[in-house]
């Protein structure tokens, strides 16, 4: 158990809809990262938050947004969903001066 | 920007065979290097890491040595087991810490009895 919790584990929704994925980092970790894993694209970094502030941005679509709350949990919001957004979405966290990140079990999103 | 290239799979081996998965990187400065493993239906788990040149990371019989001169971090195991079947990811991060990991595309390993 990595200590990173993601909910829900599975999500099925229709095109055009909006969903929210939730992540609770390891106790004490200030950084949260979101990654998308699809079959043909591998692991793509989306966005990082550090202690409530956006710190780094990767290949995140404008339809996607994220935030980190004062209790350090994070949410990834995906809107106007398309079939191509179907993927595994992982959250990871790291602590002060940690170079490695610890991953949650992921949320499998299926857009139909 | 920084990047990681790892050998494409899938790789299929018989039990007790020797495993090598190649990984090379491109980075400015001196990154930290990692191998992560993803078992079916699970998230990524850190398998081993090395933070400076010539460091050897090891765990569960797996080893990888940080080779600055060849910018490589190849994963090896002397005798694989069926339970090692998984997808293996090579990754790097900036030594400052708290920066996003850059991943290779992953190599799927299947070990048959």
Q: Which helix (H) or strand (E) holds B109?
A: strand B107-112
Q: Which residues of B touch A101 (CB under 8 A)?
A: 93, 101
The C-alpha of A60 sits at a distance from chain B's nearest C-alpha, in angstroms, of 14
Integer Cα distance of B17 and B23 in angstroms: 19
For A94, the closest of B89, B98, B106 (CB atoms) is B98
Give pLDDT, residue A12.
Answer: 97
What pLDDT does residue A2 have?
86
- Residues B98, A42: C-beta atoms closer than 8 Å: no
Q: How far off is chain A from B96, nearest CA to CA, in Å?
A: 7
Residue B65's pLDDT band, with cuts at 50, 70 and 90, is very high
Find out whether A23 and A74 touch, Cβ atoms under 8 Å: yes
Nearest beta carbon to residue A48 from set B45, B49, B100: B100
Q: Report the residue of B6, B34, B44 to disrupt the A interface, i.e. the one with the largest count of A CBs within 10 Å.
A: B44
Asked if the model's pLDDT at residue B82 lies above 90, the reply is yes
B33 with B64: CB under 8 angstroms? yes
pLDDT of residue A110: 97
Q: What percent of chain B has pLDDT over 90?
A: 81
Whole-number Å distance between alpha carbons of B21 and B94: 22
pLDDT of B8: 85
Task: Please say if the pLDDT value at position B96 is more than 80.
Answer: no
pLDDT digits (tens, 9 = 90+) for B8-56: 889 999 999 999 999 999 998 889 999 999 998 889 999 999 999 999 9
**What pLDDT score does B78 carry?**
96
- Residue B25: per-residue pLDDT: 96
Enumerate residue ranges in chain A where pLDDT < 70. 40-41
The Cα A61–Cα A58 span in angstroms is 9
How confident is the model at residue A41, as a pLDDT?
Answer: 65
Instruction: Tell me how many residue pairs between chain A and chain B have CB atoms under 8 A apart.
Output: 63
For A59, other C-beta atoms within 10 Å of its C-beta total: 11
């Amino acid at each position: 158990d990595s200590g990173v919790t993601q909910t829900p584990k599975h999500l099925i929704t229709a095109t055009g809809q909006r969903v929210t994925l939730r992540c609770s980092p390891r106790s004490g970790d200030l950084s949260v990262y979101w990654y998308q894993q699809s079959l043909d694209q591998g692991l793509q970094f989306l966005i990082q938050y550090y202690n409530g502030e956006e710190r780094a941005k990767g290949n995140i679509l404008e339809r996607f947004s994220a935030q980190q709350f004062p209790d350090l949990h994070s949410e990834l919001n995906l809107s106007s969903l398309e079939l191509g957004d179907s993927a595994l979405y992982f959250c990871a966290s790291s602590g002060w001066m940690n170079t490695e990140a610890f991953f949650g079990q992921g949320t499998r999103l299926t857009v139909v | 920007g920084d990047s990681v290239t790892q050998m494409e799979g899938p790789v299929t081996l018989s039990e007790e065979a020797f495993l090598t998965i190649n990984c090379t990187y491109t980075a400015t400065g001196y990154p930290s290097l990692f191998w992560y493993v993803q078992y079916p239906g699970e998230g990524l788990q850190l398998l081993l890491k090395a933070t400076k040149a010539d460091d050897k990371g090891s765990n569960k019989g797996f080893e990888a040595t940080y080779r600055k001169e060849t910018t490589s971090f190849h994963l090896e195991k002397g005798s694989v087991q069926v339970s090692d079947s998984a997808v293996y990811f090579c990754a790097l991060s900036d030594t400052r810490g708290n920066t996003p990991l850059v991943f290779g595309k992953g190599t799927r390993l299947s070990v048959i009895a």
